Structure 1
Amino acid sequence: MTLAIDRYGGLAGRVGLAALCAAALAACSSGPRQLGGDPQLSVLSGTELPRPDRQDVSSNQVPYYVGPFDSLTIDVFGIQELSNRAVQVDASGRISFPLAGIVDVSGLTPAEVEGELATRLRRAHVREPQVTVNLKETLSQVITVEGEVNKPGLYPVVGRLTLMGAIAKAEGTGEFSRLDDVVVFRTVRGQRYAALYNLDAIRHGAYPDPQVYASDIVMVGESRARRLFKDLLAISPALITPTVIAIDRLTR
């Protein structure tokens, strides 16, 4: 008799849990999230945004500064022995180049490195050297993306990079990510700073997408509630599984 009561009590509990999940599902279904909120953002009613012009594209470019362990490709036009040379910056920020000797390039832009090499080559009696320096690989200008992302790691920063771009480099947020708990750490003149961002609000245009810089650390927080929810889902009876899955999707 006791076994029968436990059996039916368990069934009632399952039904009750299913009803509770259904109520939660109804509460979560509040319609689509609104776009906008950032005072500098214009939300259009149409489906097509205006095309950017040349100034818009060029304004996104930021100078790149050569750092230790970066790899450069250097060409001197018309001189085969000095062309297509792969050079790596050493730990102290210097390179060695024929006729130019040891050159300190740390903190210089590629264009500034071109000018420095051209000056030194002229001193070595190379007539009107035309030097081209291209970045082959960067190991100094990187950003760290950690926490609940699909691929944590170090990613190069070449040009302008925003927070959403940094998350995209890490292949997006993870299953248990907490989008309102994204912290960016930055060191400026020896002082460490941290700022908290709501990635979900940024994605929906409520706030501007902030620019991030080399040496920043982006930490995406973990939703313990979502992880616990997933654990409960693993032990939930088949009776309520479809409802639980639906709620889990809506809580993202």
Structure 2
Amino acid sequence: MKKFYDFIFLASLLLGGTAWCHAQFTGVAATSAPGLNVRHPLTTDQVVLFPPQQDMTIFPNDVVGISVFGVTPSYLDTERVSLDGNIHLPLAGIVSIGGLTITAAEQKIARLLEDQGLFHDAQVNLVISEMPDHVVTLVGAIGKTLPLVGQRRLLDVLSLAGGLPETASTVIKIDRPGLAEPIYVDLGNDPSTSVASNIPIFPGDVITTGNVGAFYVVGAVLASGTHVLSGSRPITVSMAIASAGGTSEIASRNDSVLVRTTGNTRTVVPLHLKDIQEGKAADPVLQANDIILVPTSVLRSIFRPSNATVLVSLAVSMAALLR
């Protein structure tokens, strides 16, 4: 009888194939990973998000016209702002106006003219006649440079750039000259709330729109492979399994894992798919490059209908040999 059981064990190994092999992962050990799905904190300071209306800022390469009201002889000059922000005024010399608003530049030039003894109570008027570098730059999922004269809103700029791609994140990063930290806003997918994130955009701003990326479902599912994340709605583990056609009849659902790579660290999180799909456990939201691995159950693989006939035939043949 022992020979019979040894034969059945050998047959199960042959039929189970690689189901006995467990994937090896580098990085930290399996964990409940409380840090899953933590997003970058959004900017909440309303002064940063919606700064007071301000004059146009003077950029390098701008061409400015300067005049002084009510003086004789008349004082008129046209200068191009150098890369270091300077202009050279006749009689008055070099003055730095790059990065100043028009009003601030007028006041600075007036003080300089008075300090030089050229005019008393000078009323300076400055006009920008050319502004080649008054642009907003979009990088990431959208790669464009757009001219920006005056103040526009974020949705205006994105619309001019062709709109957000389906695979782009709704979390937008804005790097603004003069601010130490980037601005983060989430446009979301609800028009009634996205207006709160429709912040003013200024020349010199750099808008980063990130690609959400893809996730992978492998193992005992009906359609294993690569799936694209959506920027407008979250994709959870149960939704990912559904997009892969569901688990196969030989799946070991409660032995599944989520593999997430952050930098050089790979984290393996156990997934109890049965509990998740029945609403008894949390349904994690996926991030780019996540891998869901659904292993094969050896017993399910051995005793699935397609193998049952083979097992019966083997058992009958073995029983005949042992008579």
Look at both structures and tell me which one has the larger radius of gyration over its CA atoms.
2
Greater share of helix residues, 1 or 2? Answer: 1
Of structures 1 and 2, the one scoring higher in RCO (CA 8 A, sep 6+) is: 1
